């Protein structure tokens, strides 16, 4: 019989884990595959690891990897994916925001309908702070404009894939990981399932606004070089503008004898150009810093315990 590996990144999830385990193991019993879980304790500071040890003692299908510190969800997902051995692999959050009821139709999509991957997307963002939804939408619009890789709005990391696709993802060893982009970059035939947003079973979201903002920068830098082009284009546009203005004032002074006044205008322009220059250098800096981090070839995660 084939095996389905369920990879669950957990960061301070002692409240939701028991709920997740109850709901998911019940669903798994109805699937006609062997199921193994790979919980990844992402350096939790609460009782999550203790809970995982107990679950592993009670049920040999519940494995875990404990990371040496908090590596972030991306690192945790990678750790779980590397540990998973099944013919099929699925990522799931520990907070029951990824409904286990979908597992069956996901499996069907791969086994019977010939897809390599079945992914899910939320059709609404109810229950999320309004401002956060607004920025999330703006981010997806922006990144899809400037990136060749399609990033689907509302796509979750909740997706099931074949071993072949899982191995392809493992072959992408970049340190600044942006899974939504990586999934789409590796290609393969993907089926999309839509569902209504479900709120967290317990606890609070681990993503602060700031963390999300940095993550979105990871996404943009990782999957588009357009900001670099924008910096160059802005430079060219301003050069052309400067030459035009120069000619204009030169001719105006010669023919009308009217010397240019306007100290404030000069200050404004100097400030504007200074700002634009710093902005463009900043963009360069972002790419450079990412390149710097990647060239160190540090591991994506470090495991302390694996069972
Ligand atoms: N998570 C993690 N490491 C982190 C942050 C989150 O492993 O640094 C896990 C978390 O335990 C959960 C999943 O990633 O299982 C999604 O996190 P969360 O529910 O906080 O995010 P949201 O659903 O609000 O996007
Ligand atoms: Mg969640």
Q: To which residue do tokens 């569902």 refer?
A: 195
**Is residue 117's pLDDT more than 90?**
yes
181 Cβ closer than 6 Å to some ligand 1 atom:
no
Q: Which comes out higher in pLDDT, residue 207 or 140?
A: 140
Each residue's pLDDT tens digit, 250-289? 888 888 877 666 776 787 788 788 888 888 888 888 899 9
> Atom 22 in ligand 1: which residue has the minimum CA distance?
205
CA atoms within 13 A on the CB side of 23: 18
Chain length of the chain? 307
Q: What is the mean pLDDT of residues 21-46?
A: 93
Task: Pick the range with the lowest mean pLDDT from 18-27, 57-66, 228-237, 253-262.
Answer: 253-262
11 Cβ closer than 6 Å to some ligand 1 atom:
yes
Please compute Rg for the chain using Cα positions: 25
Q: What is the mean pLDDT of residues 64-68?
A: 95
Kindly state the percentage of the chain with pLDDT values over 90: 49
Q: What is the mean pLDDT of residues 219-243?
A: 86
**Is residue 248's pLDDT more than 80?**
yes
| Ligand 1 centre distance from Cα of residue 174 (Å) | 20
80 Cβ closer than 6 Å to some ligand 1 atom:
no
| Ligand 2 centre distance from Cα of residue 95 (Å) | 6
Q: Identify the pLDDT of residue 22.
A: 93
Q: Identify the pLDDT of residue 280.
A: 85
Q: Which comes out higher in pLDDT, residue 256 or 119?
A: 119
**Is residue 205's pLDDT more than 70?**
yes
Looking at the CA of residue 200, tell me the nearest atom of ligand 1.
Answer: 19
Q: What is the pTM of this model?
A: 0.83
* Full DSSP string of 99-115: -GGGHHHHHHHHHTS--
Q: What is the mean pLDDT of residues 175-201?
A: 88
42 Cβ closer than 6 Å to some ligand 1 atom:
yes
70 Cβ closer than 6 Å to some ligand 1 atom:
yes
Looking at the CA of residue 71, tell me the nearest atom of ligand 1.
Answer: 8
Q: Identify the pLDDT of residue 18.
A: 93
Which residues have CB atoms below 5 A from the ion given as ligand 2? 93, 95, 97
What distance in Å separates the CA atoms of residue 160 and residue 157, rounded to the nearest whole number?
9
What distance in Å separates the CA atoms of residue 201 and residue 170, rounded to the nearest whole number?
30
Q: Identify the pLDDT of residue 237.
A: 87
Tell me what the pLDDT averaged over the chain comes to: 89
Q: Identify the pLDDT of residue 84.
A: 95
Q: Identify the pLDDT of residue 283.
A: 87
197 Cβ closer than 6 Å to some ligand 1 atom:
no
Strands 88-91 and 155-162: antiparallel
**Is residue 39's pLDDT more than 80?**
yes
Q: Identify the pLDDT of residue 259.
A: 67
């Amino acid at each position: 019989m084939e095996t389905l590996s369920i990879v669950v990144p957990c960061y301070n999830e002692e409240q939701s884990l028991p709920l997740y385990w109850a709901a998911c193991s019940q669903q798994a019993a109805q699937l006609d595959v062997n199921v193994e879980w790979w919980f990844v304790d992402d350096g939790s500071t609460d009782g999550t690891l203790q809970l995982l040890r107990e679950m592993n003692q009670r049920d040999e299908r519940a494995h875990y990897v404990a990371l040496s510190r908090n590596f972030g969800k991306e690192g945790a997902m990678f750790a779980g994916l590397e540990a998973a051995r099944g013919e099929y692999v699925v990522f799931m959050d520990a907070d029951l925001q990824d409904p286990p009821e979908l597992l069956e139709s996901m499996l069907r999509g791969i086994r019977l309908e010939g897809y390599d991957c079945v992914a899910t997307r939320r059709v609404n963002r109810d229950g999320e702070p309004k401002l956060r939804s607004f920025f999330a939408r703006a981010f997806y619009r922006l990144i899809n404009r400037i990136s060749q890789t399609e990033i689907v709005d509302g796509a979750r990391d909740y997706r099931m894939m074949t071993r072949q696709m899982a191995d392809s993802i493992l072959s992408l060893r970049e340190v600044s990981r942006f899974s939504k982009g990586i999934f789409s970059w590796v290609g393969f035939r993907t089926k999309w399932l839509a569902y209504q947003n479900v709120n967290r079973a317990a606890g609070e979201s681990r993503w602060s606004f700031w963390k999300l903002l940095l993550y979105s920068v990871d996404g943009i830098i990782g999957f588009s070089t357009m900001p670099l082009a924008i910096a160059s284009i802005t430079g060219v546009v301003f050069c052309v503008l400067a030459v035009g203005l120069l000619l204009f004032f030169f001719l105006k002074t010669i023919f009308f004898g009217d010397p240019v006044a306007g100290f404030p205008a000069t200050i404004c322009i100097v400030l504007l150009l200074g700002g634009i220059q710093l902005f463009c250098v900043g963009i360069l800096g972002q790419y450079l810093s990412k390149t710097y981090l990647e060239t160190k070839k540090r591991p994506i995660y470090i495991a302390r315990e694996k069972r």
